[in-house]
Amino acid sequence: MARNICFLFSALLVLSIDSFGQTFEFRVLANKGANKVQKVGTGEPVFLRTGVKLDDGDQITVGANPYVGLMHKSGQTLEVKSPGTMTVDELLSKLAGTDNESSNRYAKYVLKKADGSTDVNGNFKEAVHRANSTAISLMIPQSVQIFNPEIILRWNSVSDSAYYYITIKNIFDEEIYTAETDKTHLFINFNDENLMQEELITIKVTVKGNEELFSPNYGIERLPAPEHAKVQRELDEVKADIPFDSPLNKLILASFYEEKGLLLDAITQYEEIIEGSPDVDDFQTLYGQFLINNGLSKL
């Protein structure tokens, strides 16, 4: 309970990013490769790791095929993908030169999560909640609202050879959509002609050919129009501050949706991050931590 309470951050989000601390310029959010940091006033460089703070005068050296995801204390994000040596001043020169309140509040939350990051075996797939008595569990709450029509659903594997059958029903218990896959995830677009008129649906996953292996019914509801309009206005402000698409900016969007209670939208952002950067283990760790903090998994 205490762990979850610390992530009920609504009151903290109204604080300016300046109050988060001024003793560093950048924080490392994600790191891949044999990258090193030379701290000012120290001897030999040490390997870069997630959570390290970069101060004025420090410099980083990145190796072949690197990825270093940085967040500035202002909330802006910066990716380093090319090998070489860069000072903090050089990194600062690559920033957009803006300081935006709308995105900063969610960037601050990303930084706080990086501070409290825990090891979940580096693998979000191991973080599926199996507390119920059914064989299959989806990585979503039992009932959830969605803002965006495009979602990604994921569930636990029951065997390497299993083939899954996904059924969606309307409020009258009529089957309106089906899909089959040998994967443990599925992309669904609620603007599909069979789904676009539905405000509330239930979804169930079974193993094809073995009806004893199934999931509970999960309810998914479109966000009502007045609430959708309010979220859209706030989202537009955030997106105006982070106009380009990157894994780090998707982390900010995931935090935005999480604060709004739109967990499936946040999950979809994390899924897109993992799909786009499958070799950056730190993103998988952050995803697993998100699932744990929202009661969707267990260590």
**Of 197, 206, 187, which is closest to residue 264 (Cα–Cα)?**
187
How long, in residues, is the chain? 299
Q: Are residues 182 and 214 in the same domain?
A: yes
User: What range does the domain containing 27 cover?
Assistant: 21-102
Q: What is the pLDDT of residue 227?
A: 97
Does 108 reside within a domain?
no
Q: What is the pLDDT of residue 10?
A: 36
Which of residues 67, 102, 137 is at a domain's end?
A: 102
Q: Are residues 242 and 136 in the same domain?
A: yes
Does 14 reside within a domain?
no
Distance CA 122, CA 117 (A): 11
Q: What is the pLDDT of residue 166?
A: 97
Q: What is the pLDDT of residue 98?
A: 52
Query: Which residues does residue 155 pair with via DSSP β-bridges, in sequence order?
Result: 138
**Rg of the chain on CA atoms, in Å:** 21
Query: Which residues does residue 77 pair with via DSSP β-bridges, in sequence order?
Result: 71
Q: Are 251 and 110 in contact (CB under 8 A)?
A: yes
Q: Are residues 75 and 195 in the same domain?
A: no
Q: What is the pLDDT of residue 216?
A: 94
Q: What is the pLDDT of residue 17?
A: 38
Q: What is the pTM of this model?
A: 0.77
Does 185 reside within a domain?
yes
Q: pLDDT tens, position by position, for the chain (299 residues)?
A: 444 333 333 333 333 334 444 468 898 989 998 899 999 888 789 999 888 999 999 999 999 888 999 988 877 888 999 999 999 999 999 886 555 555 566 766 676 666 654 444 444 444 444 444 578 999 999 999 999 999 999 999 999 899 999 999 999 999 999 999 999 999 999 999 999 999 999 999 999 989 899 999 999 999 999 999 999 999 998 888 776 788 999 999 999 999 999 999 999 999 999 999 999 999 998 999 899 989 887 43
227 CB neighbour count, 10 Å cutoff = 14
Q: How far is CA 258 from CA 32, 69, 225, 247, in A?
A: 26, 21, 19, 16
Q: Are residues 186 and 136 in the same domain?
A: yes
Tokens 């292996």 found at = 213
Q: What is the pLDDT of residue 72?
A: 86
Q: Are residues 180 and 290 in the same domain?
A: yes
